[in-house]
Structures are given as C-alpha cells and as structure tokens.
Amino acid sequence: AGPLALARDLLAEDGEPFFVLNSDVICEFPFAALARFHRQHGGEGSLVVTRVEEPAKYGVVVCEADTGRICRFVEKPRVFVSNKINAGLYIFSPGILQRIQLRPTSIEKEIFPAMAQDGQLYAMELQGFWMDIGQPKDFLTGMCMYLQALRAQHPEKLHSGPGVVGNVLVDPSAKIGANCVIGPNVTIGAGVVVEDGVRIKRCTVLEGARIRSHSWLESCIVGWSCSVGQWVRMENVTVLGEDVIVNDELYLNGANVLPHKSIAESVPEPRIIM
C-alpha cells in the first residue's frame, strides 16, 4: 500500500474514487458494478470478494449479509472463519490516503483491519470466475477459466477449424501446421510456429515460440522465443522461461527451466533447471 502514498498527488487530484488491482489475479473485472456499489454505500473503500474452496490460503472476509459492510478481516486464518476471500480488486475514495504512510505497508494486514473497525470497508461478491495466477499451476487453471468465460461471452474470438478441440485462442499471426490437434484450453501467442503433427493440451505458448513437429505438450507454459524440438514430450506444469531450447526427443516432466537454457537431457521427475 506504500506506493499509493507515493502517488498521493495523482490519485487525490480530482477527488474521484480510484481502483486498485492485484495484477496476479484473473476474473471478469466488474468495474462498473464495483463503482456503483461503492458510490451507493459511501464508505471509504470497497473490495471484491469471491467464494473459494480453500480460504486459508488467502485473506478472509467476514461481512454483514445485507449491507456488505465488513466486520472482520483476517489474513490467511488458521481456523475456518468464512469462505469468502479478498479477490484483490479494490476501489477507494481519496480519503483513504490519509491512512497510508510512505513506507512499506501491507494493505491487507494494516489498513483494512482498521477500516473494518471504523465501518468504512464494504465487500461486493464477485460473479463469475476468479483465480490467483501467481503459481504456474494456478495460472493454467485460470487460463482455462478465462477461456470458458470467453466461450460463453465472445465465442467468435476463439479459434476453430480442423484439429481444434474445445476452447483455443490463437493469435492471427501464429502458424499451425498440418495434422495438429490443438486444445482444449490452449492459448497461442503472436508469431508462434507450431509445426506438423503437434498435440497441445492445456498450455500457454508465448510470443515467438516454435514447437517442432510431432511433439506432445500438456499443462505447460512455453516462454517467449522458445524452441521446442521434434518428438518432445512435455507435461505436468513444465515451464520454459524466455529463449529456452529443448533438444529433440526429450521428455520433460514438471521441469521449471530458467531463461536462455539449453536442455539436452530428459527431466523425468519434476525439478528446476538453472
């Protein structure tokens, strides 16, 4: 929250409320609904909450059912308190800036509990999907959710054609070879080349990467400008950083590869390659 103090002048300039977002979160971003909700209750801050199965991993919110006013705010509780958690999307009135000093500050641990006590913090329940995409495994889950929502709202943006299964997003500048089967749940970035006979499932392939022929990828993140060889099998949340080269005929199982590495040997069990 410290950075908000740093931007104090810019934020308080026009006296209007401002959004604050955690960047490692994916959802449908109900900005209009959130702004409306905030104006209605007139408190200092509103945050979005979502229901999750394992709330102990996050900041848990206890609020009044009818007004949404937050009573308690507990970060990563050790016992079950509530299954609604802080989704990392906020809108604040400029008055909040008086609570924040220019020092490293945790908004969840220091600012919110005080605001809750003052009855100034309100929660709006999120509709639709939500995922904390800070970990590669969760990133892929979030990607699947996003694609599913896209299918419901803008199906024309998804890719279709021979060899496309389920929800697949392909940049117009990407090239996909013959006899490939892509999807479900695949996103392919700009300038990516997928050669013939490739099977990709539940992956993100970032800009400029090349997947050579007959390879098989499931649950992977392929970084920018990577080159994945022929007859490569990658699975189980293998993550390739930028500019990684994977030689032909290798097997990568849960490999986390740092940028600019060349992989010349199979990684049969999950590990980090530095």
Partner 1 sequence: LKAVILIGGPQKGTRFRPLSFEVPKPLFPVAGVPMVQHHIEACAKVPGLKEILLMGFYQPNEALSRFLVSAQQEFKIPIRYLQEYAALGTGGGIYHFRDQILSGGAEAFFVLNADVCSEFPLQEMLEFRQQHGDVHSFVILGTTANRTQALNYGCIVANADTQEVQHYVEKPSTFVSEIINCGIYLFTPAIFQHIGEVFQRNQQELALEESSNGWQRAEVIRLEQDVFTALAGSGKLYVYKTDGFWSQIKSAGSAIYASRLYLNQYSKSHPERLAQNKPGGPVIRGNVYIHPTASVDSTAVLGPNVSIGEGVTVGAGVRVRESIVLHGASLHDHTCVLNTIVGWDSTIGRWARVEGTPSDPNPNDPYAKIDSETLFRDGRLTPSITILGCSVTIPAEVVILNSIVLPHKELSRSYKNQIIL
Q: Give the active site residue among 57, 76, 109, 157.
A: 76
Least distance (Å) between residue 110 CB and partner 1: 48
Question: Is 84 annotated as catalytic?
Answer: no
Which letter does DSSP use for residue 147 in this model?
H
Least distance (Å) between residue 248 CB and partner 1: 8
The nearer residue to partner 1, 83 or 230, going by C-beta atoms, is 230
The nearer residue to partner 1, 22 or 230, going by C-beta atoms, is 230
What 3-state class would DSSP assign to 266? Answer: coil
C-alpha dist (Å) from residue 43 to 164, 173, 218:
49, 47, 47
The nearer residue to partner 1, 2 or 268, going by C-beta atoms, is 268
Binding residues for partner 1 (CB under 8 A): 179, 196-197, 199, 213-214, 216, 218, 230-231, 233, 235, 249, 251, 268
Q: Are 86 and 108 in contact (CB under 8 A)?
A: yes
Least distance (Å) between residue 274 CB and partner 1: 24
Which letter does DSSP use for residue 167 in this model?
S
Q: Are 144 and 185 in contact (CB under 8 A)?
A: yes
What 3-state class would DSSP assign to 122? Answer: strand
C-alpha dist (Å) from residue 216 to 96, 182, 195:
51, 10, 11
Least distance (Å) between residue 198 CB and partner 1: 8
The nearer residue to partner 1, 113 or 177, going by C-beta atoms, is 177
Question: Which residues are catalytically annotated?
Answer: 76
